[in-house]
C-alpha cells in the first residue's frame, strides 16, 4: 500500500473520523454543521470545516469535498493528505484557509452524487427567483435516460434511443443533454432543484463570512468521474467573461480547461459552486476557483452508473442483490479503490494546491 492510500477511506464515517483527527492534529479551528437527513444506518451526518491562519485574512484558500457525495471518497482523501502533510504550515504569512469536508454528507454516506432531495449541488447554485435554465434535449430523452425498466432488455431499448440521438447530433450534444442539468424532474438525473438546498445555504453562509474580511479567495472543488484514469483536469470554474477566469489562466496557463470554451471533459453546466460563491460575494471580493476533476471510467460507464443509481432509488430495492450491485457500480464509477489511482490523485493535488496558493499570494 502506498503512503497516499492511507489518506482515503471506505465509508463516510471513517472519512469524517480521519478528517477530524488530521484537522485537530494540524492545529485547526473546527466547526461542524449537521445535515437534517440521516445516513443509511440512521447515523448523523455532518459537514466539518477546518480553519487555519488569521481569522481576518485578506487572502483565503477554500478546499471543498463531496459536492457530489459519491466523489467524497476522492475529496476526503485529498483533504486528509493535505492536512496530514503539513500544508497548512506552508501558507504564506497572512493567508488563511478553510477545508470543508463533505459539503454533501448525505450523498457521501449513501454513495450518491445527489443530496437528500436528489439535487445535484453543482446545478443548484442558480437564482431560483428567476425561470430555471431549460434543457429541452433532456425532455426529449428523459424516458430513455431514466427508464422505469432496468432489465437488460429495458436498458438496451433505452440505450438505443440515446445512441440514435448521439448519432444524429453528436457525442457532445448527447453528453450535454444528459449531464448539463435539468430543473423539471425531481426524480431524474442531474436535477438542479427549485430552491437553495441545505448544502447551498451552508456554502453561501461560508462565502459571506469569508467576504467580511477576505478580498481574494482561491477555491479548489474536488471531483471525480470525468476524463482519463487518474488524471486531474484543472477546469476553470468561471464563465469566460468573469475576472476569475483570467486569473486561473494566469496561474495555470494552458493546463486550465474550460467547458464553456469547449476544451474540458465536462459539458457546460449552470449553477456550480464557484458560480454560487460569485453570486453572493460583493464586487470587492475576487474569487478564482477551479474544479479539480479526476478521471475514473469511460464516460458512458460513468453516466450509466448514475442512471442505474437513479433507477435504484426511484424504482428499485436497496437491500437486494441488484441494489447492492448498483451501489458497487456507482462507487466504482467515482472511486477506483486502487493504489495507483490514489497515488496519481495525491501527486496532482499537491501540485495544483501549491500552484493555486502561489497564484493567490501573488495576486
Phi-psi region of 42 (alpha: psi -120 to 50; beta: other; left: phi over 0): left
What pLDDT does 95 receive?
98
Task: Answer yes or no: is 201 within a domain.
Answer: yes
Contact by Cβ (8 Å): 96, 57 = yes
**Dihedrals φ, ψ of 137, to 5°?**
-60, -35
What pLDDT does 285 receive?
97
Is there a single domain that holds both residue 103 and residue 57? Answer: yes
- pLDDT digit string (tens) for the chain, length 363 residues: 778 999 999 999 999 999 999 999 999 999 999 999 999 999 999 999 999 999 899 999 999 999 999 999 999 999 999 999 999 999 999 999 999 999 999 999 999 999 999 999 999 999 999 999 999 999 999 999 999 999 999 999 999 999 999 999 999 999 999 999 999 999 999 999 999 999 999 999 999 999 999 999 999 999 999 999 999 999 998 999 999 999 999 999 999 999 989 999 999 999 999 999 999 999 999 999 999 999 999 999 999 999 999 999 999 999 999 999 999 999 999 999 999 999 999 999 999 999 999 999 998
Please give the residue range of the domain that contains residue 109.
3-130+190-302+328-362
What pLDDT does 136 receive?
97
Distances (CA, A) of 199 to 124, 206, 306: 9, 11, 20
What letter does residue 111 receive in the DSSP assignment?
Answer: T
Task: Answer yes or no: is 262 within a domain.
Answer: yes
Task: Answer yes or no: is 323 within a domain.
Answer: no
Task: Answer yes or no: is 145 within a domain.
Answer: yes
Is there a single domain that holds both residue 118 and residue 213? Answer: yes
Task: Answer yes or no: is 76 within a domain.
Answer: yes
Task: Answer yes or no: is 269 within a domain.
Answer: yes
Cell numbers linked to 254: 494552458
What pLDDT does 292 receive?
98
Residue 154: alpha-carbon gap to chain centroid: 30
What whole-number distance in Å separates Cα of residue 235 and Cα of residue 341? 19
Is there a single domain that holds both residue 104 and residue 218? Answer: yes
Is there a single domain that holds both residue 144 and residue 252? Answer: no
Is there a single domain that holds both residue 108 and residue 224? Answer: yes
Residue 150: alpha-carbon gap to chain centroid: 27
Residue 331: alpha-carbon gap to chain centroid: 14
Contact by Cβ (8 Å): 289, 220 = yes
What pLDDT does 2 receive?
75
Is there a single domain that holds both residue 269 and residue 355? Answer: yes
Is there a single domain that holds both residue 194 and residue 183? Answer: no
Is there a single domain that holds both residue 40 and residue 182? Answer: no
Is there a single domain that holds both residue 147 and residue 75? Answer: no
pTM of the shown model: 0.97
Can you name the residues that pair with 64 across neighbouring β-strands? 100, 221
Is there a single domain that holds both residue 32 and residue 177? Answer: no
Task: Answer yes or no: is 284 within a domain.
Answer: yes
286-295 and 216-229: which strand pairing? parallel
CATH code at position 353:
3.40.630.10
Is there a single domain that holds both residue 12 and residue 25? Answer: yes
Task: Answer yes or no: is 321 within a domain.
Answer: no
Please, which contacts does 348-353 make with residues 24 or more away whose CB atoms are closer than 8 Å? 348/231, 348/232, 348/292, 348/294, 349/78, 349/81, 349/82, 349/222, 349/232, 349/292, 350/85, 352/220, 352/232, 352/234, 352/252, 352/290, 352/292, 353/61, 353/63, 353/82, 353/87, 353/220
- The tally of domains found in the chain comes to 2
The contacts of residue 123 (CB under 8 Å, 6+ apart) are: 181, 182, 183, 190, 191, 192, 193, 269, 270, 271, 272
Is there a single domain that holds both residue 236 and residue 254? Answer: yes
**Dihedrals φ, ψ of 286, to 5°?**
-95, 125
Amino acid at each position: 500500500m502506498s503512503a497516499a492510500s492511507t489518506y482515503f477511506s471506505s465509508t463516510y464515517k471513517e472519512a469524517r473520523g480521519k478528517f477530524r483527527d488530521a484537522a485537530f492534529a494540524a492545529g485547526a479551528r473546527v466547526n461542524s454543521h449537521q445535515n437534517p437527513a440521516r445516513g443509511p444506518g440512521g447515523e448523523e451526518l455532518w459537514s466539518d470545516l477546518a480553519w487555519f491562519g488569521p481569522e481576518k485574512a485578506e487572502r483565503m484558500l477554500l478546499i471543498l469535498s463531496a459536492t457530489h457525495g459519491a466523489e467524497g471518497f476522492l475529496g476526503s482523501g485529498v483533504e486528509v493528505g493535505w492536512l496530514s502533510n503539513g500544508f497548512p504550515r506552508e501558507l504564506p504569512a497572512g493567508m488563511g484557509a478553510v477545508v470543508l469536508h463533505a459539503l454533501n454528507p448525505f450523498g457521501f454516506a449513501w454513495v450518491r452524487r445527489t443530496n437528500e432531495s436528489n439535487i445535484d449541488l453543482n446545478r443548484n447554485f442558480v437564482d431560483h427567483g428567476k425561470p430555471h435554465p431549460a434543457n429541452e434535449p433532456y425532455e426529449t430523452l428523459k424516458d430513455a435516460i431514466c427508464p422505469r425498466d432496468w432489465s437488460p432488455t429495458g436498458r438496451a431499448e433505452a440505450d438505443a434511443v440515446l445512441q440514435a440521438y448521439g448519432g444524429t447530433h453528436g457525442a457532445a450534444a448527447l453528453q450535454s443533454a444528459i449531464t448539463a442539468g435539468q430543473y423539471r424532474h425531481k426524480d431524474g438525473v442531474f436535477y438542479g432543484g427549485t430552491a437553495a438546498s441545505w448544502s447551498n445555504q451552508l456554502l453561501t453562509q461560508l462565502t459571506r463570512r469569508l467576504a467580511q474580511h477576505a478580498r481574494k479567495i482561491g477555491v479548489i472543488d474536488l471531483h471525480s468521474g470525468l476524463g482519463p484514469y487518474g488524471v486531474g483536469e484543472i477546469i476553470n470554474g468561471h464563465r469566460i467573461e468573469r475576472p476569475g477566469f483570467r486569473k486561473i489562466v494566469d496561474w495555470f496557463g494552458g493546463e486550465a480547461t474550460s467547458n464553456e470554451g469547449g476544451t474540458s471533459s465536462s459539458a457546460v453546466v449552470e449553477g456550480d459552486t464557484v458560480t454560487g460563491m460569485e453570486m453572493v460575494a460583493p464586487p470587492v471580493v475576487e474569487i478564482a476557483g477551479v474544479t479539480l476533476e479526476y478521471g475514473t471510467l469511460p464516460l458512458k460507464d460513468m453516466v450509466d452508473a448514475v442512471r442505474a443509481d437513479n433507477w435504484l432509488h426511484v424504482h428499485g430495492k436497496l437491500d437486494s442483490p441488484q441494489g447492492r450491485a448498483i451501489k458497487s457500480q456507482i462507487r466504482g464509477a467515482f472511486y477506483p479503490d486502487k493504489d495507483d489511482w490514489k497515488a496519481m490523485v495525491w501527486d496532482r493535488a499537491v501540485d495544483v494546491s501549491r500552484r493555486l496558493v502561489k497564484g493567490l499570494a501573488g495576486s
